[in-house]
Structure 1
């Protein structure tokens, strides 16, 4: 029988309570995961030096671990043979073995493509097709192929959730959607190196458009916490204000819109189709640490996947609204001459002047009519903005 590897040996203790002594202190919790990048993850963690509970999961890198101890016998695991028994105390993994098994290694962002991804099927908001979401909480084997897939895209949906959005906050999850799938990167577990190993390159790529709703907090978070400069962004919150200005002849609304309002307004989704976003806000209010808890709830992952995927459809609908006037002008430009008498058209010389044709001058008339209509429909704030009722 082949001897167990160091990581396999420690994996036999998954689900048991262990104590970890690091260069920073002593911690106790339930062993949740040991990945091939030589890191160990505990849940239900207690900082023994303070006696306080650590929210969510805690990641320990191999180079900081001094000793690993367990209080339970892992022999109950199905069909596992103890090729290598514990030491005489029966409850301690040797310091040398633990440090060897958890020794950090360089992450290869070009991992093999022929890996089986853990796709989870969930119904789309339209009910017509399925969505693939892939949770990436370790670097092997899915991280490399995910980065390669993202680098080959032209447009991505981008969203994130964080604990305490401030300079002292913590980014928990980053959702990125393509046309065919959604990747959810567990930043809480993967740590800052997730950006250096490929995500930063994707987020800073000026050839890849990122669709975000309210890019301000995320862009600020990425820059100050991870030195990532988010580039080439289509912000759906900005687009909504721009479209409103077009439709009202130049007025601004008195407030920006939420992603829920935008999805309802531009995709004509019923309240039941966007109710999951209300649910998201509710669970975040009831449990602010929900995004730090591990394992992540399937319902939460589905919710996050659907939100970021709908940003792609929202962008297309907004672009149609932005170009509505342009399309109208082009139609007028074309039909204005097509409807002239043929003899007039044939006898007319090509107009070489730079004067704006009367067909294009209609934009001024259209804007004036829209302003007059807007003043009839909306109340005006002292700042001159229109009060748009929440949907």
Structure 2
């Protein structure tokens, strides 16, 4: 049975998965706007019934996680194969005035088909995307770092939140991007796209919004050459967006590329044997404590235990927090990497200043270089690079390709 039946303080409805889905939607549509309690494979949730459709999906607004007592942002979509029970709590006075068995007026609180965004079609959602939560999943979802006040917004419908979100992004100079898919090939499914500004994280539900999310404004943001996009390993995301949605990323700061460049500077021109993961980069450049960096390990474990987790609706608050942290830290990572990239430049400028301070005015004027001469203070860069190469050869082993073998962090 899709929904079980009982009568306590709630009035409850029971339907079979084999029934006419259109009829199920018609019956429950009588209760649009009322307070609904849903019991799913992942927990219990309460909110106002916003929509029920024939695809066996329910959309709630003003959702509250009854297990934690915390409100959940945005509209929440519940697919039928994860719903165990649906109940509607009714006021006692309403039951008296209407009569317990008197049908509700079907003309009240009905929504037109144009007043909401429809749920994904069955062929857009993996049929196995909603397994019951195992014990290991519960442990993962108990993740709690020190960043309790992450300002993230889930965008899962076009009205009224999508437009203001896109306009806010269009006014930024720097954004960071991340995404989760069912598979990272061009033939996979893009489930969530995270975009962070300095003070806010937007999490776009691509699985629910569909390709229109790009045509309605996000494509303009992603292709804007005046907006810098910070991404870790932009190859797969750029290829995915290009192949599936004809979106060409522009003006990208790639933190994985930056890490290899900085390694080359540090070793006097050598290249590493491998590129670093985003977790390693955050640990190296931001010096994140284990508690702050552990969210990426939780994410990897989560995807390993349940590869289809990102298709679940509603996505648990802890999982949304993981997605927010991942993209939020990229902005700080870029700034730290830029400081490291400018270290040699700053050193050369300091050399210029020290040389000026150590000379008398007469000596300085008489030894002024011509335009064809390279000041000896700048020649120190060559010496510095040579010393770094010698040090690197002592600290690293060299593989058959001449790359320095880099250990994992």
1:166 and 2:185 are equivalent in the alignment:
yes
1:362 and 2:398 are equivalent in the alignment:
no
| Cα deviation code 1:327-356 (max 9, x no counterpart) | 11111122223311232234x275433211
- The answer as to whether partners of 2:78 and 2:314 remain within 8 angstroms in 1 is no
- The answer as to whether partners of 2:256 and 2:275 remain within 8 angstroms in 1 is yes
Which of 37, 40, 44 is the aligned partner of 2:80?
A: 44
Aligned to 1:388: 406
Aligned to 1:148: 167
Question: How far apart, in 2, do the equivalents of 1:43 and 1:80 lie?
Answer: 32
Cα RMSD (Å): 3.6
Please, what TM-score do these two structures have when normalized by structure 2? Answer: 0.71
Which of 397, 400, 405 is the aligned partner of 1:379?
A: 397
Displacement over 3 Å in runs of 4+: 7-21, 39-42, 72-82, 103-106, 122-125, 349-352
Structure 1 residues 381 and 75: alpha-carbon distance in aligned structure 2, compared to 1, 3 A threshold: closer
Question: How far apart, in 2, do the equivalents of 1:298 and 1:237 lie?
Answer: 28
Please, what TM-score do these two structures have when normalized by structure 1? Answer: 0.74
Q: Classify the secondary structure of the residue corresponding to 1:359.
A: helix
| Cα deviation code 1:159-211 (max 9, x no counterpart) | 11111122321111111111111111111111110111111111111111011
TM-aligned CA deviation for residue 14 of structure 1: 6.5
Q: Following superposition of structure 1 onto structure 2, how do residues 123-272 of structure 1 map, counting pairs within 5 Å?
A: 130-272=149-291
Structure ranking higher in helix proportion: 2
- The answer as to whether partners of 2:37 and 2:88 remain within 8 angstroms in 1 is no
Aligned to 2:45: none
1:326 and 2:337 are equivalent in the alignment:
no
- The answer as to whether partners of 1:15 and 1:32 remain within 8 angstroms in 2 is no
- Runs of 5+ unmatched residues, structure 1: 1-6, 22-26, 46-55, 58-71, 107-121
Question: How far apart, in 1, do the equivalents of 2:338 and 2:205 lie?
Answer: 31
Question: How far apart, in 2, do the equivalents of 1:299 and 1:14 lie?
Answer: 23
Structure 1 residues 187 and 322: alpha-carbon distance in aligned structure 2, compared to 1, 3 A threshold: same
Aligned to 1:50: none
- The answer as to whether partners of 2:166 and 2:218 remain within 8 angstroms in 1 is yes
Structure 1 residues 270 and 16: alpha-carbon distance in aligned structure 2, compared to 1, 3 A threshold: closer
1:308 and 2:344 are equivalent in the alignment:
no
TM-aligned CA deviation for residue 11 of structure 1: 5.0
Aligned to 2:363: 344
Structure 1 residues 73 and 176: alpha-carbon distance in aligned structure 2, compared to 1, 3 A threshold: closer
- The answer as to whether partners of 1:124 and 1:131 remain within 8 angstroms in 2 is no
Aligned to 1:31: 58
Structure 1 residues 385 and 195: alpha-carbon distance in aligned structure 2, compared to 1, 3 A threshold: same
TM-aligned CA deviation for residue 12 of structure 1: 5.3
TM-aligned CA deviation for residue 153 of structure 1: 0.8
Question: How far apart, in 2, do the equivalents of 1:230 and 1:292 lie?
Answer: 25
Aligned to 2:134: none
